[in-house]
Each structure stands twice: as structure tokens, then as C-alpha cells.
Amino acid sequence: MLRIIKNFSARMLSAIFGRKKNIKIGFYGPPNAGKTSLANRICKDWTGEEIGLVSKVPHETRHVQFKEKVEINHKGKTLIFKMVDTPGIATKIDYEDFLKFGVKKSDAKKRAKEATQGIIESIQWLDDMEAVVVVLDASLNPYSQVNITIIGNLVARKIPILIVANKIDLKKADIKKIEAAFPEYETVGISAKDGINMDEFYEALFRLANKT
Amino acid sequence: MSISERVKKILNLILGNKIVILHGRLRAEEEARLIEDTMAMVDHIKNFKGIELAVIEPDMRNESMFGKMKYSIAKSLVGDSSAITLIGPASVVKEIRRDPKKLELMLS
């Protein structure tokens, strides 16, 4: 009897305070959209340490990286989740693209090889996600096939989606374009680098977690 | 034809430096598999840099309710045959620019 009351009150508290345990939230998107910058911003805000390195050179993240437990306490609500930051998905990799950033030829070739493996890893991890934050660069055309393929695959797997229009600090940023391209999903405009609009992002993240 | 067979067939054409135009579109899982297999090949085949892929569908945003209904009934009966899928080797197709109304193929 005591256990029934205990379970019931735990469920009630969970419903009232929106507390969720151990859900897996993935960060997906094309290369250089700012997935790791956003993951770092969240980790710094709530765990005090970053998850990975960021760079202007595309494909800086070439392996899936995790933060086992991130606990967000926001406006009286708590969300606990496993953060999965994934390498950017692309349909082509050319080591010569990295040379433009001053990367040495041998390093560029190594980077390209690792990047191809990272993309395969990202796609294989899709099945393990319970919710996904799709991070897009708000200053770029959102109608790229990679964006459509990522979102199409999440829809096919019935995984809840939140779209983040990152880099709103840039002059060319246009959230409306992203909203028009994917009107079925909630879109939040942020700048992970400058920490702009993070409150709204956390609100949306709670809504996303509630859909799982 | 299974997903693997379809993707294999497409990639064989791409490796022969051909641009593939499909009537209809690949399923989401097929697109993902195509990217996965492409990346595995980039790693193993010299001078293969990947693919350019784009799908264009009729713009239904300004269609009437009846028009949209007709489209979705046709889609559920015969599949998404109004879409066109373009896939080309990245060494031949530099870029496919896509917006809701047009598709631009930029060759290298």
C-alpha cells in the first residue's frame, strides 16, 4: 500500500514538475551549424564543463560525443537527459576543402577520412535517439537535401524534433526562412556562441522532452 | 527491390560518373543508407568525393484544399510520383541549389 502511494506521488510530482529521467537527446545537423557550440553552451550552463572542441574548419566533431547526465533546472522545472552530440551529416567530403582553412595536406586527408566515419556513426545513432534537436545555420539556405534527409529520417522513426536556428547574431540570419521550410516543427532562434535567446531554447527543450 | 539493392544500383551508376534522375523520391531510410554507403565508398575509392542529391516536389503551399487533398490521395495510391530526384557524383555536379520553386544544377 505504502509503495503504491509512493509511486503515485512520484508520478504526480513528475507530472507537475515536468521531471524526466535519462532520456537521450541527440544534436543533429549539417557540418558547422553549431551543434557542439550549443552542446557546450548547455553543458557550461548546467554542468560547468564543455563537451567538445569547436572550430571554423568543418567536421571538427568526427565522433559521437556524450554527456551522460545533464540536469537543467529552469523556472522550477527539472530535466535530466543524456546529451548526444553528433558529427555533422554531409553527402560529400573533399579533403581539399580543408586546405582552404590552412590545414596541412596530410592532416586534411586524415580529417576527411575521419569525417566519413563520423557521418556513418551519426546516421547509425539515429535509431537510439528519443528526441532530437536539429541545429541549422540561420544564415544559410535551409532547403538543403541533408536537412531534409535528417528531418525525414526522424519523422520516419517517430522521433520528436526541435529545430534550432543558430547564429542569429549574423546579419544574414533569417529564422523565417527556416520556419517556412519546416512549418510543422517548432523553431527557436538562438546564438549558441553569444548565448542569445537561451531561455526560450530551454523552454522549447522542456516541451520537446515532454513529447517523448 | 530491397533498400540495399536500390542504393547499390544508384551508386554503381554514380561511380560511372553518371547523373541519375529518378521519377519519384527515395524513402527517408533509403536516403540515409545512400549517404552511409557513399561515405564508406569515399573512404575506399580513390578520387570519389561523394554525391550531390536533391529532390524537387510540386509546391503545394498555394494550392486549394481540394488540390492538396487530390495530391495526397494520389500520393497514397501511386506513391510520390510527382517528385523528381537528382543524384550525381560530387566530382561532376558541383552543387544543386534548391528552393521550393526551382532546382539549379551547377556542373564542375
Q: Hey, what's the cell of B15?
A: 561511380
Nearest to B50 by CA among A61, A125, A101, A115: A115
Spatial CA neighbour of A54 closest among A64, A39, A71: A39
Total domains present in chain B = 1
In chain A, which residues have their Cβ closer than 8 Å to the Cβ of B55?
145, 148
Identify the band that residue B56 occupies on the pLDDT scale cut at 50, 70 and 90. confident
Cross-chain residue pair A91–B53, CB shorter than 8 Å: yes
Residues of chain B contacting residue A116, judged by C-beta atoms under 8 Å apart: 39-40, 42-43
Kindly state the average pLDDT of the residues B68-86. Answer: 67
Q: What is the pLDDT of residues A131-148, one digit of tens each?
A: 999 999 999 999 898 999
Interchain proximity A145–B98, CB inside 8 Å: yes
pLDDT digits (tens, 9 = 90+) for A198-212: 999 999 999 999 998
CA A55 from centre of chain: 16
How far apart, in whole angstroms, are the C-alpha atoms of residue A26 and residue A84?
A: 5
Is the CB of A116 less than 8 angstroms away from the CB of B51?
A: no
Segment A157-184 mean pLDDT: 97
Task: Report which residue type is found at B90.
Answer: A
SS3 A72: strand
B44 pLDDT more than 60: yes
Instruction: Check pLDDT > 90 for residue A109.
Output: yes
Please tell me the distance in Å from A180's CA to the nearest CA on chain B. 10
Spacing of C-alpha B49 from chain mean position: 17
Hey, are the CB atoms on A123 and B42 less than 8 Å from each other?
no
Residue of A nearest to B36 (CA): A120
Report the b/e string of A139-167 with b at 16+ CB within 10 A.
bbebbbbbbbbbbbbbeeeebbbbbbbbb
Q: What is the pLDDT of residues A171-181, one digit of tens each?
A: 999 999 999 99
Domain of B49 in residue numbering reads as: 3-107
Residue B66's pLDDT band, with cuts at 50, 70 and 90, is: low
How close is the nearest chain A Cα to the Cα of B56, in Å?
10
Closest-CA residue of chain A to B33: A123
CA dihedral A87, A93, A99, A101 (to 10 degrees): -40
Selecting from B35, B90, B96 the residue whose C-beta is nearest the C-beta of A149 gives B35
State the DSSP H helix or E strand holding residue A74, giving kind and residue range, or none if neither. strand A65-74
Mean pLDDT of chain A: 91
Residue with cell 570519389: B48
Full-model pTM: 0.85
Phi, psi of A64 (to 5 degrees): -65, 130
Chain B closest-CA separation from residue A199 CA (Å): 32
**Helix (H), strand (E), coil (C) string for B75-94:** HHHHCCCCCEEEEEECCCEE
ipTM score of the complex?
0.86
The domains located in chain A, with CATH, are 17-210 (3.40.50.300)
Nearest CB among A89, A93, A148 relative to B42 is that of A93
* A149 to B32: CB separation less than 8 angstroms, yes or no: yes
Chain A residues within 8 A of B38 when measuring between CB atoms: 91-92
Q: Which residue has the higher pLDDT, B21 or B66?
A: B21
- Give residue B6's Cα distance to chain centre: 12
Q: What is the pLDDT of residue B43?
A: 81
User: In whole numbers, what is the pLDDT of chain B averaged over residues?
Assistant: 81
Is residue A149 a contact partner of residue A136, using CB atoms and an 8 Å limit?
A: no
CA distance A39 to chain B (A): 24
Q: Name the amino acid, one letter, at A121.
A: E
**Residues of A whose CB is below 8 A from B52:** 91-92
